[in-house]
Amino acid sequence: MGWNRKVLRVNLTAGTCTPEPLNMAWANDYLGSRGLASKYLVEETDPKVDPLSPENKMIMATGPLTGTMASTGGRYVVVTKGPLTNVIACSNSGGYFGAEMKFAGWDMIIFEGKSPKPVYLYLENDKAELRDAAHLWGKTCWETEETIKATHQDPLIRISSIGGAGENGVYYAAIVNDLHRAAGRSGVGAVMGSKNLKAVAIRGTQGVSGIKDFPAFMAATTAGKKVLAENAVTSQGLPTYGTQVLMNVINEMGALPTRNHRDVQFEEAGKISGEAMHEKRPTDGKTHLVANAACFGCTIACGRISRIDETHFSVKNSPQYWGAGGGLEYEAAWALGAANGVGDLEALQYANLLCNEHGMDPISFGATVGAAMELYDLGILSKEQIGVDARFGSAEALCKLVEMTAHGEGFGKELGLGSARMCAKYGRPELSMSVKGQEFPAYDSRGIQGMGLAYATSNRGACHLRGYTVASEVLGIPVKTDPLVTEGKADLVKAFQDATGVVDSAGICVFTTFAWTLADIQPQIQAACEGDWSMDKLALVGERIWNMERQYNLAAGMSAKDDDLPPRLKNEAAKTGPAKGLVNGIDKMRPEYYKVRGWTPEGVPESSTLERLGL
């Protein structure tokens, strides 16, 4: 059956934990994880709810393949209404926490209300308790994990927690699990903090039972792993260089946003690339990279374990950061690096560690620093206001600002608002490189046109993981399209968005799609789950999820005007590289996209579209 058919409802106001059956009719329509949890959120919350109020809900959910033998089947999501964007938020994380939830017998945990005091949820198979977290409040994510494991005398407990950023309402606070994995985007950690929920600790010993057709499932998952093992990206590129393998590739094609998107190529990209992680440092003769790492059940292992140079200014007096830690991934290396013009790999690793330790999204944090550096460069913000000489390229400023933001000190509080609110406060809202309030990831849409449309129309604000047309426009997966043209991008973006809805809802990692198409995933779902999970049905499920999220956002107050890019990307042409002279063609692509989606020119799903999708 794929699902455990059990939901835990935690009412934090009343302090109760109540099991209930999973709504199987909804599971049949939305599969699991992102799709199913979003359906619960849509049904149970007012779209206009204040994200940080007790009336908002936060749902942690697994998919039917989470915890199984499917490669990368360790994913879980956090679904809520996001404070950064004021629309639906769904943040996805790997590691081992999701599989543990499944092993404990649960598909989903719904948190509602607000606890009168800090608590953590302790879940051991069927036993669910809210425990006092007064002694954990104020601790980092790393300290929280260590303390909870020691309290329960069990090193195998899996924990998701918030750090100071979530406690202090940083708008892009993350929920961190397994020390270095995070449900990072849209501020889901701030929602958790607003509920006085410090952590969720799970110990599950029941395994995963109920796979519908076990021999067929083993055959399908084995075949899937073979495809991953024979693909150059998933068997060589990602394990060897991690996602950072993209740094030089994207820079060469003139699509690496640099200095708050003023430039599209970074002259020091090579210094912060996946290749640079393998080079021996002149200072200590060691490589930055120590090993690669995998999330639960993953046969790709793109994760990075690395070590900072102990003599680097950021850590020379802080031996707690001398050990090996997680990172860097491409997005973090870009946001902390090129986005600010910083080419100091050790500084990026330090800033990334602090983001993990204190629970912050490094993409939104780094991009917000980039916006602050531009305000500084323009003379709108002074050194006295920021507390540091925040010129583009300053590794010292980056390290200082990450500490200030993590600890909620001085100008760090303003950085914690995110770039849209911060830039608006200083009268230059157009300098926020964001959509729906969420900062862009690491692809400049003047050089990869389809990504501009994907960002503008993403239901959770600017995001590469809702429609990763980079696969097609850059890597030729599954077919090569020209990154510099707008033609055909409406269809391409829709196809990626709908397919990603299925991947996310199954409980597997989107990086499989460098090698897998839905045709590789479908037999795994079909063998695991009761019912019909044909290709046609999966296509419909993906499209249904997208339109359901859209309907929620429209009801929350969003409209077509929010499906847009900052003026810089529409008016200021790329200065160098293959895209030199180009701006993004969003105004041409958006009407085409609405048409392909079966939406009105105002971006509202037509009644015939809703009827076809059963919405």
Site size for ligand SF4 (CB under 6 A): 11
Buried/exposed 424-450: b ≥16 CB within 10 Å, e otherwise = eebeebebbbbbbbbbbbbbbbbbbbb
Q: What distance in Å separates the CA atoms of residue 135 and residue 142, rounded to the nearest whole number?
A: 14
CA 525 to chain CA mean position, Å: 23
Query: Cα–Cα distance between 17 and 19 in angstroms, integer?
Result: 7
Cα dihedral 421/423/428/433 (nearest 10): -100
The answer to whether residue 484 forms part of the interface with ligand SF4 (CB under 6 A) is no
Q: How far is the CB of 507 from ligand SF4 (least distance, A)?
A: 11
Number of residues written out for the chain: 615
**x-marked contacts with ligand SF4 along 299-328 as a string, rule CB under 6 A:** -xxxx-------------------------
Query: Residue 298 interacts with ligand SF4 (CB under 6 A)?
Result: yes
Q: Minimal distance in Å, beta carbon 44 to ligand SF4? A: 29
Residue closer to ligand SF4, measured from CB, 73 or 447 = 73
CB of 508 to ligand SF4, least distance (A): 8
Q: Which residue lies nearer to ligand SF4 by CB, 137 or 516?
A: 516
Q: Is 571 exposed, middle or buried (0-12, 13-18, 19+ CB in 10 A)?
A: exposed
Q: Is 515 an interacting residue with respect to ligand SF4 (CB under 6 A)?
A: no
Nearer to ligand SF4 (CB atom), residue 94 or residue 341: 94
Q: For residues 558 and 454, what is the distance between their CA atoms, to the nearest angstrom? A: 16
The Cα 191–Cα 73 span in angstroms is 26
Give me the helix-helix angle, 489-506 and 449-457, nearest 10°. Answer: 60
Contact region with ligand SF4 (CB under 6 A), list: 125-133, 199-207, 297-305, 485-493:
297-305
Judging by beta carbons within 10 Å of its beta carbon (0-12, 13-18, 19+), is residue 583 exposed, middle or buried? buried
Tell the smallest beta-carbon distance from residue 430 to ligand SF4 (Å).
34
Contact 359, 161 (CB under 8 A): yes
Three-state secondary structure string covering 559-604? CHHHCCCCHHHHHCCCCCCCCCCCCCCHHHHHHHHHHHHCECCCCC
Q: Can residue 511 be called a binding residue for ligand SF4 (CB under 6 A)?
A: yes
* Residue (301 or 390) nearer to ligand SF4, CB: 301
Which residue in 179, 294, 380, 424 binds ligand SF4 (CB under 6 A)?
A: 294
Q: Find the part of the chain contacting ligand SF4 (CB under 6 A) among 150-158, 202-210, 292-300, 573-581.
A: 292-300
Segment 344 to 383, residues that bind ligand SF4, using CB under 6 A: none
**Any contact of residue 474 with ligand SF4 (CB under 6 A)?**
no
Q: Using alpha carbons, select from 292, 187, 279, 290 the residue that is nearest to residue 243.
A: 292
Burial class, 216, CB count within 10 angstroms (exposed 0-12 / middle 13-18 / buried 19+): middle
- From 295, 328, 474, 528, residue interacting with ligand SF4 (rule: CB under 6 A): 295
CB of 512 to ligand SF4, least distance (A): 7
94 in contact with ligand SF4 (CB under 6 A): yes
Q: What are phi and psi of 564, to 5 degrees?
A: -140, 165
Answer yes or no: are the C-beta atoms of 17 and 121 closer than 8 Å: yes
To ligand SF4, the closest distance from the beta carbon of 518 in angstroms equals 17
Q: In the complex, what is the shortest distance from the CB of residue 332 to ligand SF4, in angstroms, rounded to a whole number?
A: 13
Q: Residue 97 interacts with ligand SF4 (CB under 6 A)?
A: no
Cβ 61 to ligand SF4 shortest distance, Å: 17
Residue 215: which region, alpha, beta or left (left: phi > 0; alpha: psi -120 to 50)? Answer: alpha
Q: Which stretch binds ligand SF4 (CB under 6 A): 137-145, 296-304, 316-324, 453-461?
A: 296-304
The residue range among 14-22, 298-306, 387-395, 450-458 that interacts with ligand SF4, by the rule CB under 6 A, is: 298-306
Q: Answer for the pair 69, 167: CB distance below 8 angstroms, yes or no.
A: no
Kindly tell me which of 47 and 74 has the beta carbon lying closer to ligand SF4.
74
* Cβ nearer to ligand SF4, comparing 246 with 569: 246
- Contact between 72 and ligand SF4 per CB under 6 A: yes
Question: Which spans of this chain sit near ligand SF4 (rule: CB under 6 A)?
Answer: 72, 94, 294-295, 298, 300-303, 509, 511
